[in-house]
């Protein structure tokens, strides 16, 4: 099986791949990301290639299939494709995907009831990754319960930055975090699980 190195696929034993069409148009989609971060200006172009713009953060944009069960789908099912913005420092690509992948490998894959899984990613430089789509809106009560449940497991993150309605949703009937390119701490918030995520990722691809 073609597994993403570092990911335990015991439960998620099918690595979700881009469709053949998705592979063909991925370079064009990355080109759109590289050109501009105001994707509403590219609505017609994205629509023409069968892609739905979900939203964006400081470091990346999120896309999904435009239609259900359509030949122009880029993904095999209800998943999202996250593409990093093109930020390069000292010839190394710096983006949220690398941190999210590292966090999932170190923390998330062992706590699947709390983190939406990374099911596949660009092994070269993490320009893109794939994960299941969440649904619904979580309440403040859900967020509080989530925060304290993780704290009991020695996992800490900033509630104001990392835990909110836009970063969480329902997956497999559970409240999970789907946007975790953030600092995750252990030992009562003193130490990070992943200190240098670019170095961490480079070791995955050696």
| Local structure of 120: helix, strand or coil | strand
> Contact at 8 Å (CB) between 180 and 108?
yes
Please state, in angstroms and rounded to a whole number, the distance separating the CA atoms of residues 81 and 42: 17
Does residue 101 lie in a domain region? yes
Q: Do 33 and 117 reside in the same domain of the chain? A: yes
Q: Which domain holds residue 144?
A: 140-204
Does residue 79 lie in a domain region? yes
For 25-67, how does the pLDDT look when each residue is reduced to its tens digit (9 = 90+)?
A: 999 999 999 887 678 778 888 888 889 999 888 889 999 998 7
User: Is the pLDDT at 173 greater than 90, yes or no?
Assistant: yes
Return the exposure string of 55-81: e unless at least 16 CB atoms fall within 10 Å of the residue's CB, then b: ebeebbbbbbbbeeeeeebbbeeebbb
Does residue 157 lie in a domain region? yes
User: Is the pLDDT at 107 greater than 80, yes or no?
Assistant: yes
Banded pLDDT at 12 (limits 50, 70, 90): very low
Does residue 4 lie in a domain region? no
DSSP letters of 36-48?
Answer: -S-GGGGHHHHHH
User: Is the pLDDT at 125 greater than 90, yes or no?
Assistant: no
Give this prediction's pTM: 0.86
Which residue among 132, 159, 181 closes a domain?
Answer: 132
The predicted structure's pLDDT at residue 36: 72
Q: Do 67 and 159 reside in the same domain of the chain? A: no
Q: Do 126 and 66 reside in the same domain of the chain? A: yes
User: Is the pLDDT at 7 greater than 80, yes or no?
Assistant: no
CATH number of residue 101's parent domain:
3.30.200.20
Average pLDDT, the chain: 83
Does residue 8 lie in a domain region? no
Q: Do 87 and 144 reside in the same domain of the chain? A: no
Q: Do 66 and 147 reside in the same domain of the chain? A: no
> Contact at 8 Å (CB) between 12 and 25?
no
Does residue 5 lie in a domain region? no
Token pair of 76 as six digits: 């095999």
Quick one: what percent of the chain has pLDDT higher than 70?
84
| Local structure of 143: helix, strand or coil | helix
Q: Do 97 and 163 reside in the same domain of the chain? A: no
Residue 82 host element (H or E): strand 79-84
Q: Do 119 and 175 reside in the same domain of the chain? A: no
Structural domain total, the chain: 2
Does residue 60 lie in a domain region? yes
- Extract long-range pairs of 101-104: CB within 8 Å, 24+ residues apart: 101/6, 101/126, 101/129, 101/201, 101/204, 102/193, 102/194, 102/197, 102/200, 102/201, 103/180, 103/181, 103/182, 103/184, 103/193, 103/194, 104/7, 104/180
User: Is the pLDDT at 13 greater than 60, yes or no?
Assistant: no
The predicted structure's pLDDT at residue 138: 93
Does residue 69 lie in a domain region? yes
Which residue among 132, 154, 171 closes a domain?
Answer: 132
The predicted structure's pLDDT at residue 15: 64
């Amino acid at each position: 099986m073609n597994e993403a190195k570092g990911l335990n696929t015991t439960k998620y034993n099918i690595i979700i791949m881009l469709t053949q069409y998705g592979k063909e148009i991925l370079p064009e989609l990355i080109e759109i990301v590289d050109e501009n971060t105001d994707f509403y200006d590219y609505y017609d172009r994205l629509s023409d290639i069968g892609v739905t713009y979900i939203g964006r953060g400081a470091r990346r944009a999120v896309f999904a299939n435009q239609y259900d069960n359509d030949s122009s789908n880029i993904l095999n099912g209800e998943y999202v494709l996250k593409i990093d913005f093109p930020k390069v420092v000292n010839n190394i690509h710096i983006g949220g995907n690398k941190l999210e992948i590292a966090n999932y490998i170190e923390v998330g894959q062992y706590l699947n009831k709390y983190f939406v899984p990374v099911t596949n990613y660009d092994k070269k430089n993490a320009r893109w990754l794939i994960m299941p789509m969440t649904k619904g809106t979580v309440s403040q009560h859900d967020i509080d319960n989530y925060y304290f449940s993780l704290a009991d497991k020695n996992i800490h993150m900033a509630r104001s930055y990392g835990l909110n309605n836009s970063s969480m949703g329902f997956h497999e009937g559970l409240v999970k975090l789907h946007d975790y390119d953030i600092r995750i701490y252990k030992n009562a918030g003193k130490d990070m699980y992943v200190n240098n995520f670019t170095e961490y990722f480079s070791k995955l691809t050696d």
